Amino acid sequence: MTKNLVIVESPAKARTINKYLGNDYEVTASMGHIRDLPARTLGIDIERGFEPVYEIIRGKKKAVQELRKKAKKADQVYLAPDLDREGEAIAWHLLEALELPPEKAFRVTFNEITKSAIQKAFETPTKISMSKVNAQQARRLLDRLVGYKLSPLLWDKVTRGLSAGRVQSVAVKLVAEREKEIRAFQSEEYWRITAQVARQDSDKKKPDTFKAELARLNGKKAKLTNQAETDQVLEQMKDCPWVVSAVNHKKRLDKAPPPFITSTLQQQASVKLRFSAKKTMMIAQQLYEGVDLGSEGSTGLITYMRTDSVRVSQDSLSVARTLIGRDFGDAYLPEKPNIFKSKSKGAQEAHEAIRPTDPERSPEKIRGKLDRDQFNLYELIWKRFVASQMTPALYALTTAEIEVGPTVFQSKGKVLRTEGHTILSGHSVKKDDQILPAFEEQEELIAKSIEPSQHFTQPPPRYSEATLVKMLEKLGIGRPSTYAPIISTIQDRGYVRIKERKFRATDLGLLITDLLVEHFPDILDTRFTSDMEEKLDRIEESDGDWRNLLFDFYMMFSECLQLAKREMVDIKRNPEVSEIECEKCGKPMIFRWNRNGRFLGCSGFPDCRETKPVDIDGHPIESEKMDVDCELCGESMTLKVGRNGRFLACSAYPDCKSTVSIADDGTILFPEKTDLLCEKCESPLILKSGRRGKFYCCSTYPECDFTRPLGSESQKKLADKETGEKCDKCESSMVIKFGRRGAFLACSAFPKCRNTKPLPDHLRPEPEKTDEVCEDCGKEMVIREGRRGRFLACTGYPKCKHTRQLKEGKS
């Protein structure tokens, strides 16, 4: 008989913990949440004090039955999900769903999955914290009330398929407001005057020059708005001596940065690794739950990754300081440990920052055991933690002012004198930072060149994932566990899109934001949302009643909801009529909306289904008949514009749904015939180009919708190959598959099990060697394969990330 049962969320976490507990314990996984509110109904009994109605999640009934059997046989059951609110709620749902007697169930939490942390946790088990559970319940019910009450309103007033959320709508509002600022921005002209200046050094034929820029004119800050003003200033400077009027030297200490918290990790992973917030958290979860290190087995490499606390344990500080003194020298080791304070008012100081579980386990020591993404993220976390305990960097700053007639030019220099923490964290000296010569006041200089230049003011920048997370954190919107889901949700809903790694609000996002701001100003107010987060924090600290919070919110919300039902503009039933007539039936066209945005539709719908795309100003984008015939039916092709850009569509639509992609440079990407046969219907496959690259599809589309990613010969050899890897969820073997982003591991039990994992480096095909060398570092270039095809990459990766296109004729 099993003496003790331990339940965690995932098989990977179960494997890592199991090796630390011994034979008296059986560790199993619940596979995340097992209970939730019903999918198709509100699931909240408002009349009974907002009592939630929970049910077993679809597909989890068999797992719950298995857990019940194991729990009945066990002497004690230890609930060990993660240590945050979400984990506490999972533990409580397990307690309820498995009908565990309170005296038999225990809660264990740990900040890292290491032998000492696990054993300590099981030596001091606790009971479930209902204050944490209630805080999570309150958040879940608040979000359900808003989502299930607002979404039908938007379906009724705008179009079906829309949704709104308590926090995600505020995030959309931030992006929408920035989009409006950019569209309303009026660019203004301004001019700058820069000069290349040198000392009068007769010993040098080519004296070193440095840059100076016009700073003041007639004692005031220089502001040149046009070329005429600039020419006038240049004329006033003519023949005037360049004399050093002031030299200011100062030193600046740059203190070590704190170790990562969730938001800063997501920001830096976005900037340095180009990871999305979702990808960052997925890989961090893998590092936390355990990676197979060979002889060590599955080992947790980092502490818990959902945290807003910068505190670290005394043991980890001691190890880091020993490492710094030994590997970097005493010059990098401060006399006392660096202690940081969390900026967030509600920071969980009982938690720790994100750090390596063992700082002595440097990235290079385990490089071969991690895939590329895991290594890069672990290296980022390791370097940041070790750097956080190093000495400050010292910069020497010099500012010189140079009088030239009525003008004063300014030159700034910056030099890194002492590396300190920057040896790991990187320093802020940029490529164009300059070292100024040691000149003295009243020294006369020579202007080697004077360059006036025209510029225009730029609108505020759009949010990237990094800057949006930073803004959410600054405003107190969301918590560490919610940043990544917020960003994923607002994209999935179609309210924002990412282009060139920047968020852009869609027309639909702008419309929904305007409607919600007008009728639900409190819910869309950032201060209100931040205050709600603080109230949830107080409930977690047993300083608030979650039912009272829901009652107060619902009284305000329901009043706004009733008013909005009466007064919100009904776009669906009273659409805006355009001045454009339908080309098919002559009736006026009207502006309509769907999940992809605004378009023109015939007012004679459903008798006439003519539509036209529109630009951001509502002007129709005219379809243009092209001198191209459809390869499926022979009819002419028409130029169309969709949410992903221009494409050709058959004019016989909807009878023929053939489309052809158009490249950014206007090249029509015709499908190529192949000798391959469709795996579904055995018709010939054709090779088409999409926005993510080339792919195979069935020539009989839409009758057969089979598609397959384009694979090279090396990919075909690897496809479906057994790897020796086991699935984390069902223990079936993992095989190599290829998708639009390249190779990955997939469970062989698909479609019953849809688990996937990144492909480890040791299973990747060997790159093809070339005679090319890297322009940046001189190392050999090899041919690699990515989602856009084959390319040249430097063998010095990840230190050198240089890539370039293959030369013509290179196979």
Q: State the pLDDT at residue 291.
A: 92
pLDDT value at 809 more than 60 = no
Longest Cα–Cα distance of the chain, Å, equals 99
Query: What's the mean pLDDT when you consider all of the chain?
Result: 87
The dihedral over CA atoms of 521, 526, 531, 536, expressed in degrees to the nearest 10, equals 100
Q: Tell me how far CA of residue 91 lies from CA of 80, 113, 705, in angstroms.
A: 7, 18, 43
DSSP secondary structure, 644-682, as one string: TEEEEEETTTTT---EEEE-TTS-EE--EEEEEE-TTT-
Choice among 124-133, 243-252, 552-561, 801-810 with the minimum mean pLDDT: 801-810
Q: State the pLDDT at residue 713.
A: 45
Token representation of residue 793: 């990459």
pLDDT tens-digit series, residues 414-445: 888 899 999 999 876 666 688 888 888 899 99
> Rounded to whole angstroms, how far apart are CA atoms 798 and 375?
10
Please say if 304 is a catalytic residue. Answer: yes
Of 20, 78, 288, 304, which is the active-site residue?
Answer: 304
pLDDT value at 811 more than 50 = no
Nearest Cα to Cα of residue 685 among 693, 653, 695: 695
Nearest Cα to Cα of residue 785 among 722, 671, 676, 709: 709
pLDDT value at 712 more than 60 = no
DSSP 192: E
Helices and strands (H, E) in the chain, number of each type:
18, 40
- Interstrand relation of 220-221 and 209-217 (parallel, antiparallel or unpaired): antiparallel
Burial class (CB in 10 A: 0-12, 13-18, 19+), 535: buried
The mean per-residue pLDDT over the stretch 327-343 comes to 92
Choice among 56-65, 308-317, 764-773 with the minimum mean pLDDT: 764-773
> Rounded to whole angstroms, how far apart are CA atoms 561 and 153?
8
Token representation of residue 22: 């011994």
pLDDT tens-digit series, residues 82-115: 999 999 999 999 999 999 998 999 999 999 999 9
748 pLDDT band, cuts 50/70/90, is confident
pLDDT value at 408 more than 50 = yes
566 pLDDT band, cuts 50/70/90, is very high
Q: Buried b vs exposed e over 489-508: b needs ≥16 C-beta within 10 Å?
A: bbeebbbbbeeeebbbbbbb
Q: State the pLDDT at residue 347.
A: 53
> Rounded to whole angstroms, how far apart are CA atoms 108 and 129?
11
Identity of the amino acid at 260: F
The mean per-residue pLDDT over the stretch 62-66 comes to 93
The verdict on whether omega for the bond into residue 702 sits within 30 degrees of 0, i.e. cis, is yes
pLDDT value at 641 more than 80 = no
> Rounded to whole angstroms, how far apart are CA atoms 590 and 576?
6
> Rounded to whole angstroms, how far apart are CA atoms 694 and 710?
6
Q: pLDDT: is 654 or 521 the higher one?
A: 521
> Rounded to whole angstroms, how far apart are CA atoms 113 and 81?
12
Q: pLDDT: is 557 or 542 the higher one?
A: 557
